[in-house]
Amino acid sequence: MALFIIGCSTSNDLTIGLEDLETDAINAEETFGANPFEQIGPFYQRMRTTYNLQNNMKLKDIYNQLNQTLLAYNIEVKGSNNDSMPNEIPSYFLADETTLLSIIENSALNETAKTSLYEFMQDLLNYNGDNYDFVLAQVYKYESETINNKYLTSYDRQVILSFTSLVKNSHGYQNALAHQANEDEDELEDQDWDISVGETVVYLDISLSESIQEMVQAMYESFKGL
């Protein structure tokens, strides 16, 4: 599928205070923790589990806990300073690759980020059936490349790195870890990678948030839709 990019003005590029990382032969051990938005994924899965166990979770409950997490890890959710078109996301069960493309095209990401993220999402879907160790190594490599990409804005990095954190902590990955814990003879590398288009749309919608309020709303809506 071709990616048609809608041009948009870019905000001043704000650098993240991180050490340069090598982009060749990256592995999980070398890059773990380099993502400044690393806690977004684990937080989302904790809230998803809590939501499934409780029938009375409210937006303010998620907001308060997310705000505490962001403060604890010195994470700031910033806006893009660019214009974007609102996306009306259909049921996640009905989402397809056209949905993904539309969301990215209408986002406030710059053109470089749009192309990069869409291609990475295509890779993630194509990796289905490969082992987790291989896929996670590709995710860490992409994170390193994103951190060091001088053509990305601060908002672009925020979106991409939030997305990769959500991917690394996906529901399928959590299931694989649980299975590994229950089966001592099984290794994580023996588990197959599996991510759906709908799940990818969920993570993208959350990652494109330009404020804590938007992120909380996106998470809450996803809990109801998954």
* Structure confidence by residue, pLDDT tens digits, 131-185: 989 999 999 999 999 999 999 999 999 999 999 999 999 966 555 555 555 665 5
pLDDT, position 67: 97
pTM over 0.95: no
Mean pLDDT score across all residues of the chain: 81
**Looking at the predicted structure, is the pLDDT value of residue 18 above 50?**
no
Is 60 exceeded by the pLDDT of residue 196? yes
Task: Using CB atoms within 10 Å of the CB of residue 72, give its burial: 0 to 12 exposed, 13 to 18 middle, 19+ buried.
Answer: exposed
